[in-house]
Amino acid sequence: GKRYKDFPNIVWAFGNDYDKTSWSVHSIDAVVIAVAEGIRSQDQNHLVTIELGSPVANQRFGQSSSTDDKRWRHVLGLNWGYTYLPTYATAKLEWQDPSIPIMPYVLGESGYENETWSGVEGTPKTCRRENWCSIIGGGLAGLIYGDYYIWLFFSGGVWQENLNSPGAIQTGYVRAFLEGLNWRDLKPDHSHKFCTAGYGTEFENLASPSTRNASGQSYISVDGYAPAAITGDGTLGVVYVQNSTTLTIDMSKMSGDVTARWYDPTNNTYSSIGEYDHSGMIQFTSPAANSAGDQDFVLLLTSKKAR
């Protein structure tokens, strides 16, 4: 901690698939916590976090967050989400649990691009689903992108070539979209008072022992839920649609005259929908296909006038 305390780019991350068979044993967990406490005693400048394995018995791959191990909560500054299930579900769990200390939540690990792991297909589309569902679902602190060829450092220039893979580039578009928006004040629309219809069925089976359904498909690949978020002053609202749908938006939750646009998360472009008053229920039908031939889009509603 003393050695690195003045470096500007450090996050102290412990664990890494820290299985419950280890972290549930106090004598083992105490040793790792002691290391974190020692570093923290010398370095108050950087965040401390941990990636845990699933807290659910017999769930080899599923979901967890740093706060699942309550013994770590006093040293944490960042809540690391780990999930191979629909990512908005874990973010929602952390958002709504009043026992969890308030801290930034980041999607630390989900499916990697170019790697099919536990049934989760490593496609750019999967990466987009994971990223956008977490961000709009409440994980506004950010996300970490992974690629099979990069984390294994494939030789012959392969890992370098994948630094600019479609999934990597499209992950960067998440930041490009948020910059310039009042994203820090977004709150997930868990109660569906903003997006009232067309959002689909929410995945809730976080205790599932498998990442796949009875047909062998990953829950992420068949998920169609559309998470939404809105700021308290009604100047910004966003919805991520995974499949073509018609959303119903309660425009009274917005403020002032509202500008509506569709954002294509595959090429970082916008298409205009129109201008609307902040009253009544308005339906928005998503475009048929984005530039990659998939159906996911982001509905962006902005207003310059606060209530």
- For residue range 269-293, list pLDDT tens digits in order: 999 999 999 999 999 999 999 999 9
Q: Per the domain annotation, does 20 fall within a domain?
A: no
pLDDT at 16: 84
The fraction of the chain above a pLDDT of 90, given in percent, is 81
pLDDT at 307: 45
Q: Per the domain annotation, does 35 fall within a domain?
A: no
Q: Which residue segment(s) compose the domain that 101 sits in?
A: 78-303
Q: Per the domain annotation, does 112 fall within a domain?
A: yes
Cα 51 to Cα 291: distance, rounded to the nearest angstrom = 35
Q: Global pTM?
A: 0.94
Picking from 179, 172, 227, the residue whose alpha carbon sits closest to that of residue 203 is 227
Extended beta strands in the chain, E state: 12-18, 48-52, 63-65, 79-83, 105-109, 142-143, 186-188, 195-197, 228-231, 236-241, 246-250, 258-264, 269-276, 281-285, 297-303
- For residue range 167-216, list pLDDT tens digits in order: 999 999 999 999 989 999 999 999 999 999 999 999 998 888 888 999 99
pLDDT at 60: 62
Q: Per the domain annotation, does 5 fall within a domain?
A: no
Specify the number of domains making up the chain: 1
Q: From the CB of residue 178, how many other CB atoms can be counted at a distance below 10 Å?
A: 16
Q: Per the domain annotation, does 244 fall within a domain?
A: yes
Cα 86 to Cα 2, 23, 179, 209, 251: the distances in Å are 39, 24, 25, 14, 28
For the segment 48-63, the average pLDDT, to the nearest whole number, is 79
C-alpha torsion sign, points 90, 95, 100, 105: positive
Q: Per the domain annotation, does 73 fall within a domain?
A: no
